[in-house]
Chain A
Amino acid sequence: MAFFSKRKGSARQSDTYTSTKGKGGKQTDKVEPLTADLDVNARVIGDRLGGSLDIVLRELRSAGKESIRLIVVYIDSIVDHRMIQEGILSPLADSPIPPLDLQDSGQDNNRQGSIIVGIAKHILSIGTIRSITTIEEALEALLGGSCLILAESEQTALAADVSGGEQRAVTEASTQTVIRGPQHSFTENCMTNIGLLRRIIRSSELRIHCLYIGRHTNTRIAVVYIEGIADAGVVNEMNRRLRAIDIDGVLESGYVEEFIQDKTFTPFPTLMNVERPDVVAAGLLEGQVAVIVDGTPFVLLAPVTFFKFFQSAEDYYQRYDISTFLRMLRHFAFVVSMLLPATYIAVTTFHQEMLPTTLLISLAAQREGVPFPALAEALLMEITFEVLREAGVRMPRAIGPAISIVGALVLGQAAVQAGLVSPAMVIAVSFTAISNFVTPQFNIAIAARLIRFSLMLLAGALGFFGIITGIIVVLTHLAGLRSFGVPYMTPAAPLLPSSLKDILIRVPRWAMSTRPLAIGGGKRKKDAKAPPWQRRSSGPEEE
């Protein structure tokens, strides 16, 4: 696949990414096995963790005649205490470990290992348990939120998954809101997020693969797709790119996004980030692959096309005619947010003759006292607005109202009255700003903001000629972009007529009988035909 960009592969290739217990994250150059000496094992583990505050090493003896010395190790801050208490500590203390000959698998007469097997099979009431033979595995399990059970004269230990601790509950989506539709959003917990998806797509075809990225953070990353719908090539490529990542830490899906996108030098996002489970589910059903990164509610979706960024989840929950109108409105607003200030500059600087005379006179009168050329005026206002906007995001919530006062009154009205800018320019800048917020996906709106500035400069220098040059360059750039091998401007260029049903317009649900061709492989048929009561009758309705 020549179209996938080359990137520097790292040596940390591991084929464990397909298992849910993969451990591709850490480079294990030397493997230290557990010894038969309980105290040595405990000491080594304690030393490797550097005696941190929250490490708990609890020694206890099992119940029964043949009392066995056990050590339970866990990290206090990332486990669920109730599970430790009820699932590990009290069973260990209360019930005796059955000797090997009483256990059902009696063929192995070696005493070695019987205690651990006995504990695992008969005592612990924890769902996920695995056995561990090396110090490295033990550390990894501990740091992942497992509780380690070491037994006397055993070279195997048990890791029981008791991860827990404080985390945010599932709440309403805060950045990608809808009026109608499911309101919950992803959380910071990878498992919770997978659960949210599982609850929507109850299909055995849903595949979830895990891998760990980040030398220090060892962050869990889940790749989710639907077998048979998602293109196998895209899934493989996604895994390949993810495994090639070599980084100290992954704190947000943005880290991953920068590594796995097809092209770095572009303002346009080639992966989508979503905080709504329904949107991700819809993407999966169309053949996209989702990447869930532990620690962030923003899930990545790929491959995406340019037009995907203008589809809101709500488009599919509302009537199609209304959705179509809103969809067109969004595209229009996107164009406005890129072009309006540039057009204003071009018209007032170079092409005044385009305006009707009355409007021209009124504009000229407004600009009479303005000391700057239109370009400087527009840049001044645009930058002011960008600063206001950034301040609005960053400042402490309590001072919120101050921004609106300063922004609206001082910078808007007062600037006009002081003769620094013309009222028409304030209107243009405000409308541009508002238009920029219409786009459902925030990151493509930022692309429009960046391009807006270069177009303004071009318009200031060369008028409409500059604007059309800029547009051609942007279009060329867009036409050359790919997202996981899918041309970015599909289905407009290259044209796929059957996929145009969900671009500028949205046709009724039942008319979307095929999946978008470019993204999904596999089965094409999606929905059924129109239900019989909706099929067009040949004449007017009788009765």
Chain B
Amino acid sequence: MGALGKYQIVVMTVMFELGSTPLFELGIEAKQDAWLAMLFASLAGLVLTWIYLRIQLRFPSYGLNELLRAHLGRILGAAVSLLFAVYFIYEASRNVRDFSELTVMTILQQTPQWIIIAIVCLIGLYAAWKGTTVFFRVVELLFPIVFVSYAFILLLLIVSRLSNYHRLLPMLEHGVAPVLNAAFPDIVSFPFGQMVVFLVFWHRVKENKRLGRAAVWAYIVVAFFLTLMNALTISILGPEIASISSLPLLEVVQLIRFASFLERVDVFVTLLLYIGLYVKMTLFYMAAILVVNGIFPKSYRTYAVVIIVLIAAMAFLEPDHTTFIWIGLTVSVKIFPLFQIVIPLLLLVIGALRGLGSNKGVDGGAAAEK
């Protein structure tokens, strides 16, 4: 499979982080300071991204499997890789479930969820079948659509004068504590810590030297945008409504009335969220395939089929939406930091202690991935 361009990584970072994030009003426990929580979390995420990049740049040609093996040894490395694969599969399955819940809640109220899940899994499988290179290109093609749409929505929100900054006041009403409580570890682990998935893909970038800068800039831009969207939502809905609504962004765009014909933009926003969810789901899914194929090398496409079936099955685990959200917001966010923070930090420290990558380990071995 071919190498990836720097621009492709930038676009993928933006699209991936964007994903379904604007859908939820993250950090709403901090009331009107939710956007501050978002800001703090994104700063923490920036540090995490830096850590991931440090690990990656020790061995620029290594994928996640090789990195783990280089740091932790053969057996432990493989075991942790497997854990990562499980984590990726679970993240992907949550995205699939998000997809179906969103659809059933908004535009197809009467369609059974399993149909949606099946279709989403099939288009994911199709992308995986075509391979990483093609998928990155698809995201490149989707990016202009998403970019223009979000720009358009922002423009509409501004011209329709819905936003009122008084709703963001008073800032830090109860001090910094609630803000930090909201930010850590919840928002850090979703969406910012999910950057860890790029450890599977970064080594494929052609210009490794400039990778760090490109990834960090893409991250900063998208983090800023997410914080802005968060603040906009609160400034439009106010913290009370934003906290009880299940899909705050859709509530916001429903308020848009422009020139008496653009009245229900929310369907288009739903489509935008679909694109984001699709990108996120497929990237996790492909990461899982590549990691598993790296541990037990067999056929990429066999694993693609097996793993998509697993993802589809796991999407049915939670009986209803409430459980799904509850697990996502309380249980998962407590486990995810293991992969997003604890293990990378461990790798960073181990690598520093053993002095990995400092000497000519740059081309220690070619990436074994397909």
Contact (A465, B263) CB under 8 Å given A476-B123, A476-B126, A489-B141: no
Task: Write 25 A-B pairs (CB below 8 A) sorted by A numbering.
Answer: A354-B267, A356-B260, A356-B261, A462-B111, A462-B115, A463-B108, A464-B267, A465-B116, A469-B120, A472-B278, A475-B141, A475-B142, A476-B130, A476-B134, A479-B141, A480-B130, A492-B141, A493-B136, A493-B138, A493-B141, A494-B7, A494-B8, A494-B140, A495-B5, A495-B7
The yes or no answer to A353 lying at the interface (CB within 8 A) is yes
Give the interface size bracket for A toward B.
20 to 34
User: B108 contacts A350, CB within 8 Å?
Assistant: yes
**Count the B residues whose beta carbon is within 8 Å of the partner chain — how many?**
35
Please give, as numbers and ranges, the residues of chain B lying within 8 Å of A465 by CB-CB distance: 103, 107-108, 111, 116, 119, 274
Q: Which of B271-295 contact A (CB under 8 A)?
A: 271, 274-275, 278
User: B138 contacts A468, CB within 8 Å?
Assistant: no
Residue of A487, A489, A495 ringed by the most chain B CB atoms within 10 A = A495
Q: Which of A447-504 contact B (CB under 8 A)?
A: 462-465, 468-469, 472-473, 475-476, 478-480, 487, 489, 492-495
Q: A356 to B274, alpha carbons, bound, how many Å?
A: 24
Q: A495 to B120, alpha carbons, bound, how many Å?
A: 27
Q: Which residue of A lies closest to B104 (CB)?
A: A465
Contact with A along B99-129 (1 / 0, CB 8 A): 0000100011001000110011001001100
The yes or no answer to A199 lying at the interface (CB within 8 A) is no
Residue of B103, B131, B134, B275 ringed by the most chain A CB atoms within 10 A = B134
Contact (A469, B123) CB under 8 Å given A356-B263, A480-B130, A495-B5: yes
The yes or no answer to A240 lying at the interface (CB within 8 A) is no
The yes or no answer to A351 lying at the interface (CB within 8 A) is yes
Q: A354 to B7, alpha carbons, bound, how many Å?
A: 36
User: A350 contacts B107, CB within 8 Å?
Assistant: yes
In the complex, how many angstroms separate the beta carbon of A440 from the nearest chain B beta carbon?
22
Which listed residue (A350, A354, A468, A492) contacts B274, Cβ 8 A?
A: A468
Please give, as numbers and ranges, the residues of chain A lying within 8 Å of B263 by CB-CB distance: 354, 356
Q: Which residue of B lies closest to A3 (CB)?
A: B2
Please give, as numbers and ranges, the residues of chain B lying within 8 Å of A489 by CB-CB distance: 137, 140-141
Q: A487 to B275, alpha carbons, bound, how many Å?
A: 22
Contact (A464, B271) CB under 8 Å given A476-B130, A479-B141, A495-B5: yes
Please give, as numbers and ranges, the residues of chain A lying within 8 Å of B270 by CB-CB distance: 464
Q: B residues engaging A (CB < 8 A)?
A: 5, 7-8, 103, 107-108, 111, 115-116, 119-120, 123, 126-127, 130-131, 134-138, 140-142, 144, 260-261, 263-264, 267, 270-271, 274-275, 278
Q: A473 to B137, alpha carbons, bound, how many Å?
A: 13
Contact (A351, B134) CB under 8 Å given A472-B123, A495-B8: no
Contact (A479, B123) CB under 8 Å given A356-B261, A464-B107, A468-B275: no
Other A-B pairs beyond A462-B115, A489-B140, 15, CB < 8 Å? A350-B107, A351-B264, A351-B267, A464-B270, A465-B103, A469-B120, A476-B126, A487-B137, A489-B141, A492-B140, A494-B5, A494-B137, A495-B5, A495-B7, A495-B140
In the complex, how many angstroms separate the beta carbon of A53 from the nearest chain B beta carbon?
57
Q: Name the prevailing secondary structure of the B interface residues.
A: helix
Please give, as numbers and ranges, the residues of chain B lying within 8 Å of A478 by CB-CB distance: 141
Contact (A463, B107) CB under 8 Å given A472-B123, A476-B126, A494-B5: yes
In the complex, how many angstroms separate the beta carbon of B153 from the nearest chain A beta carbon?
15
In the complex, how many angstroms separate the beta carbon of B215 from the nearest chain A beta carbon?
17
Please give, as numbers and ranges, the residues of chain A lying within 8 Å of B103 by CB-CB distance: 465
In the complex, how many angstroms separate the beta carbon of B83 from the nearest chain A beta carbon?
30
Please give, as numbers and ranges, the residues of chain A lying within 8 Å of B5 by CB-CB distance: 494-495
Q: A354 to B137, alpha carbons, bound, how many Å?
A: 31
Q: A190 to B86, alpha carbons, bound, how many Å?
A: 62
Which listed residue (A356, A463, A473, A494) contacts B126, Cβ 8 A?
A: A473
Please give, as numbers and ranges, the residues of chain B lying within 8 Å of A492 by CB-CB distance: 140-141, 144
Please give, as numbers and ranges, the residues of chain B lying within 8 Å of A472 by CB-CB distance: 123, 138, 142, 275, 278
In the complex, how many angstroms separate the beta carbon of A327 from the nearest chain B beta carbon?
16
Q: A525 to B137, alpha carbons, bound, how many Å?
A: 27
Contact (A479, B271) CB under 8 Å given A462-B111, A465-B108, A492-B141: no
In the complex, how many angstroms separate the beta carbon of B232 from the nearest chain A beta carbon?
23
In the complex, how many angstroms separate the beta carbon of B301 from the nearest chain A beta carbon?
14
Which listed residue (B119, B264, B278) contacts A354, Cβ 8 A?
A: B264
In the complex, how many angstroms separate the beta carbon of A203 from the nearest chain B beta carbon?
34
Q: A468 to B119, alpha carbons, bound, how many Å?
A: 11
Please give, as numbers and ranges, the residues of chain A lying within 8 Å of B115 by CB-CB distance: 462
